[in-house]
Amino acid sequence: MTRLIVHAGTEFVDGGTVLADLVRHRETLRAGGVLIPHRSDLAAWRELSAGLLRAAPATMALLTEARETGADALLLGSDLLADALTSPDAAARLAALAREEDLDIQIIVVVREQVGYINQLYCHRVLSMETSRNLAQFAAQAVPAHRFDYVASFGAIADTAGLTLKAVPFSDLVSRGAGRCVVEAAGLDAGLAEQVAETRLAVPRLPGPVLIEAVRLLHKRFRWLNAFAEEGKSRLRDLTGQLALAAAEAEWDTTEYWGWSPQQAQAVQEEYAEGNDGFAQFVWGTSWPEEWGTGQQERIDLADLPPKVLRQVITTVEDFADRAILLPSGQA
Amino acid sequence: MRRLVVFIGGSRSSASTFQRTLARSLKQVAGAGVLVPKAGRRANKPTAVSHQRLANPKDSSWQDLRAEVDQSPADTVLVMIPGLLKGDDSHARHEAVVHCMSGVADEIVVASVVTDQLGLINEQYLHLIANWRTSARLENDAWKLATNDTYVHEYMLRPWYRDSAVRYVGVPSTDYTAGNPVQAVLSAAGVETPDLGEAVPPPATLGPRGVEANRLLTTFLRAEAPGFKPDSPKVAAMSKAALTRADHMGWCARPFWGWTTSSAQRAADRFASSNHRFATEIWGTDWPLPVEVDRPCTQIDFLDLDFEVVDQIQNYVLNTANRVAVRLGRSA
């Protein structure tokens, strides 16, 4: 039986550091009996990992290579795979693969406390023009539906014969190194884990509250102008980046966005605390180890801005909205 | 024996409703033997039935009033002087006004509408927003407003109900708004009249969207037209015109309630004991008016609105600010 280890990352949790560590130590891992994909780019890893669910030829070829070269394990990973694993039939597909290919499949997920995670994911979603909702609405309408509930997301995997669920707390990636944590969680040789203890995850800096509101306004203006349909989202996302530069140049923000009020943060904690503890008991046999994210609320109401800043925000956003419809395609 | 009924208001909307209803019902009121004198009305607005000049005890209109009353067979004289609802009037001024009243009739009845403070402050906030005097949310302005003694009925009305020369009548706002306000005041003063018909509705006030639009506009104006003074007659006229535009946009249709439960509770706690003392002294009962601590807050966030409304509000802000800047002749 061959071991298949799958690091199923959640967007904006490991930030690509797991992959970076594994690629950097490809030869060390190989010497330790662990095969990883030959290519180093994120897209290839994503494709190979997602291919497990549909037995894609490239993925199956790598599995065959692992067998034929006598590797003890094949290690795949993707920073986005966790979303795919929450689909209703994902566990059944992986179980079928385990049966058909005689595999021992380990799924390793990285889990993070939800208060800081939702705040960070929200910032990303706003800046990438995926949402113009406020933070509370965004959290309440998570996509996929159980994104922030680890029991609901990964319970089916834990309950399926042939699959083993392992988990790594996000704070460990920060304090102990990303690749090391995954190798340790997979139960691989401790010496091997020491050797890949390279990158400690740095939590990325968040955008400022004025920029967040400015992008939300720009999003609403684009919708009014029907720009998403006429120009395409990717082109408009470029404008968001330019707006961020304009915001930095004008020094709109001196703080990072933290959208939760203390009461809202408390409500999020209460919503997820029991599930987190249940999940932690199942995977680690301990209580939930992650400390909740905290912060003073740093979100703004446009009408409360200093007048000059409000004027800049509205006129700048209007200028960017005009650019989206006035410039020829590709020059936004 | 002649009776002078002096209505001193109680809130902006109650004074406005009274004045508009009285203006429409002058014939019926006269038919009931009640004189609504011409003396004391503002010279530039002789059709307005408010006797604002009588707020000044030195004004010559008191002599005119005595002469007019002497020539009338009416037993009851009804005047409306909202300017007398001032807790900070000096004792000497109060005495002087009462002395003037005593020269007109044998019995003096001073009537006011008594409203709960949450409603009063909400109404005052709407007035400040409509006149571009604040851009804060009610939640943030609430304490500034709630700590103002003008909302303490004891403070504002004690000079009247502790004056032995005057009979004070407090009309609970629930009685006042249930039917015709003129009839409610006269009835509370002991004057029976035939049915005076329905009340004339008060002027439109901003709803949640209108409030948000004006908050944004006020902040924007401070940058677009530096030094603009909301008190100046030009700006006051423009804010009035803007209110009409807001009404045409449908932004006055939904009632606005800016209190959140927690801030409403804090304010209600502040007024509870003085309201109890007031009610005991005036009506011999507990405070009879509902205090709507749990009424849902309707204050909204600009960027939580649909993109069509965001566009409407942005156009309103930019166009109105441009008009004001041009009119004031000092565009930034």
- Taking an 8 Å cut-off on Cβ atoms, the answer to whether A303 and B216 are in contact is yes
Least CB–CB distance from A307: residue in B220, B311, B318: B220
% of chain B surpassing 70 pLDDT: 97
Is pLDDT larger for residue B4 or for residue A142? B4
Q: What pLDDT sits at residue B98?
A: 94
Query: Is-above-0.80 flag for pTM?
Result: yes
Q: Is the pLDDT of residue B331 over 60?
A: no
Phi, psi of A74 (to 5 degrees): -110, 130
- Taking an 8 Å cut-off on Cβ atoms, the answer to whether A303 and B135 are in contact is yes
**Residue B246 distance to chain A (closest CA, Å):** 17
Alpha carbons within 13 A on the beta-carbon side of B6? 27
> Which residue type occupies B155?
Y
Query: Which of A225-230's residues contact partners 24+ apart within 8 Å by CB, and which partners?
Result: A225/A321, A225/A324, A225/A325, A227/A321, A227/A324, A227/A325, A228/A129, A230/A325
Residue A186 domain flag? yes
Whether A191 and A213 map to the same domain: the answer is: no
What are B5-33's pLDDT values in tens digits?
999 988 888 888 899 999 988 989 999 99
Q: Is the pLDDT of residue B313 over 80?
A: yes
* Token pair of A158 as six digits: 């834990």
Whether A214 and A191 map to the same domain: the answer is: no
Residue A92 domain flag? yes
Q: What pLDDT sits at residue A193?
A: 77
**Mean of pLDDT values over B97-119:** 94
Residue A99 domain flag? yes
Q: Is the pLDDT of residue A145 over 80?
A: no
What are B77-102's pLDDT values in tens digits?
999 998 887 766 778 888 999 999 99
- Taking an 8 Å cut-off on Cβ atoms, the answer to whether B311 and A310 are in contact is no
Residue A151 domain flag? yes
Q: Is the pLDDT of residue A60 over 90?
A: yes
Q: What pLDDT sits at residue A330?
A: 45
> Which residue type occupies A9?
G
| Domain count within chain A | 2
Whether A152 and A178 map to the same domain: the answer is: yes
Mean pLDDT of chain B: 90
ipTM of predicted complex: 0.81
Least CB–CB distance from B137: residue in A224, A301, A310: A301
Q: Is the pLDDT of residue A1 over 60?
A: no
Q: What pLDDT sits at residue A332?
A: 42
Other residues' Cβ atoms within 10 Å of the Cβ of residue B229: 13
Q: What pLDDT sits at residue B290?
A: 93
In CATH terms, the fold of domain B3-121+142-188 is Rossmann fold (3.40.50)
Other residues' Cβ atoms within 10 Å of the Cβ of residue A35: 22
Whether A177 and A239 map to the same domain: the answer is: no
Q: What pLDDT sits at residue A326?
A: 63
Residue A291 domain flag? no
Q: Is the pLDDT of residue B291 over 90?
A: yes
Q: Which residue of A has its CA nearest to B211?
A: A303
Whether A177 and A223 map to the same domain: the answer is: no
- Taking an 8 Å cut-off on Cβ atoms, the answer to whether B301 and A301 are in contact is yes
Q: What pLDDT sits at residue B227?
A: 74
Residue A284 domain flag? no
Whether A154 and A248 map to the same domain: the answer is: no
Other residues' Cβ atoms within 10 Å of the Cβ of residue A268: 23
% of chain A surpassing 70 pLDDT: 94
* Token pair of B211 as six digits: 């409030």
Is pLDDT larger for residue B214 or for residue A20? B214
Whether A108 and A154 map to the same domain: the answer is: yes
Whether A168 and A250 map to the same domain: the answer is: no
- Taking an 8 Å cut-off on Cβ atoms, the answer to whether A220 and B216 are in contact is no
Domains of chain B by residue range? 3-121+142-188, 208-255+301-328
Whether A153 and A246 map to the same domain: the answer is: no
| Cα gap B173→B211, rounded to integer Å | 24
% of chain A surpassing 90 pLDDT: 61
Whether A186 and A91 map to the same domain: the answer is: yes
**Mean of pLDDT values over A90-104:** 93
| DSSP one-letter string for B172-185 | EHHHHHHS-HHHHH
What are B190-236's pLDDT values in tens digits?
998 888 888 888 888 999 999 999 999 999 999 988 778 888 888 99
Whether A152 and A243 map to the same domain: the answer is: no
Domain that holds residue A8: 2-113+145-195
Q: Is the pLDDT of residue A331 over 80?
A: no
What are A221-254's pLDDT values in tens digits?
999 988 888 777 888 888 888 999 999 999 999 9
Residue A36 domain flag? yes
Least CB–CB distance from B303: residue in A224, A302, A304: A302
